Amino acid sequence: MRKFTIYLFSALCLLLLNCSNDTKHKSVNHNRGNNKSSEQNISKNQIIIDIVPFEGTPPEIISSLFEALKHFCPNVQAKSTIAFPLNAFYEPRHRYKADSLINFLSSITPASHVSIGITVKDISTSKGNIEDWGVMGLSFQPGNACIVSTFRLNKQKLLDQLFKVSIHELGHTQGLDHCEIKTCYMRDAEGKNTTDEEIEFCPKCKEFLVKKGWIIK
pLDDT single digits (tens) 37-68? 333 333 456 789 999 999 999 999 999 999 99
Regarding pTM above 0.85, the answer is: no
Instruction: Determine, yes or no, domain membership for 28.
Output: no
- Give the CATH number, domain containing residue 187: 3.40.390.10
Which range, 5-19, 43-57, 139-153, is most confident? 139-153
Burial of 18 (0-12, 13-18, 19+ CB in 10 A): exposed
pLDDT band at 22 (very low <50, low <70, confident <90, very high): very low
Under 8 Å between Cβ of 47 and 114: yes
Domain that holds residue 144: 44-211
The domain total for the chain is 1
Instruction: Determine, yes or no, domain membership for 129.
Output: yes
Instruction: Determine, yes or no, domain membership for 165.
Output: yes
Q: How far apart are CA 3 and CA 1, in angstroms?
A: 5
Instruction: Determine, yes or no, domain membership for 35.
Output: no
Instruction: Determine, yes or no, domain membership for 12.
Output: no
Instruction: Determine, yes or no, domain membership for 119.
Output: yes
pLDDT at residue 21 tops 90: no
